[in-house]
Structure 1
Amino acid sequence: MAWVSRYVAAVLMGIILLAGPDAAAAQTADLSPEADVSLITILPGPAVYEAFGHSAVRVHDPEQGIDRLYNYGTFQFDRWFVPKFLYGQLDYYLSVASFPAALRHYEQLGRPVVEQTLNLTPEQRSALVGFLRVNAQPENRVYRYDFLFDNCSTRIRDACTDVWPTVDWSDAPDPQLTFREMLDR
């Protein structure tokens, strides 16, 4: 029965994410100097799709009343979820939601949320938010999920690399390790 409550929670989160005005369109104004962009990490949960945690990006501009979560980890949870996932045919998409609503959702699930404000120049912040806005458009938001190579974390990494090609990812894993060995750590 626990899976039923998780399923209901996933459906409710989908409704929260899709309800209300188009969040990407609501963010067409330039951000104020008080705005922040943060990496949000949601720690692992008990469901199979929660086992490795989750990453998203928060855009917060209190002066303009903007507090949005850009979430590359949204998917359609239906009876075909497991077969689609196992066969590599599961589409994910970038959703934009109210950060306070998303935070309440994760807190209700008992999943701790960690926020790390990114130390960005105004130009870098603007470039990243612009990238996210373009990615949130209906024609750009869907992608084919890949557990290792195309997921909520790699999408954020790729956004950073796209807007700042000089980002140093020098903490790369040992190339001699297998994927299983890296995951075991």
Structure 2
Amino acid sequence: MYELTTIEDTVRIPPSSFDNPFKETAIEILNRKYVGKTDKKLGILVMVTDILEHNVGQVVIGDGSAFYHVTFKALFFKPVLHEVVDGEVMEVTEFGAFIRIGPIDGLVHVSQVTDDFITYDQKRGALVAKETPKSLEKPDFVRARIVAVSIKGKTTKDCKIGLTMRQPGLGRFEWIDEEKSKKK
């Protein structure tokens, strides 16, 4: 789930940027500082969107930069347990597939791809069903449900998202379309 949140911080504007528009410069500096960082309550910061307020900058002796206390809007992505998400297959291994959902990858374990028995085809780099013509490979688009969330540490590398595609209405988009066709 994406959410806009208001945050306060101090931003350091170097002298070389004094001629540039303040909002653009502050947003760029805050994005470099925060994009991809995680917070247990808010999730993963995707981008700083706007500067809402700022005070008059203060110059620190010996530094030359101006420091501004700012209030800004930031867009966060917080994976929510049982949320249904769409994503793209980024990598397939013999133990499952990594699916890009927003700014992070989640793992669909091989046991959670489909009810059919799945094997890994190393030549194709694909997970292939034994009894049906279903397969999963890069760059397929899928719909999955979040079944496990672990946001730890300060970056997305420390986060783990578990996904399943074994429920009705989930899986590769082509599988979902086939299910709908059969019901009509």
TM-score band by shorter chain is under 0.3
Q: Which has the larger share of strand?
A: 2
Structure with larger RCO (C-alpha < 8 A, sep 6+): 1
Which has the larger Rg?
2
TM-score normalised over the length of structure 1: 0.24
Q: Which has the larger share of helix?
A: 1
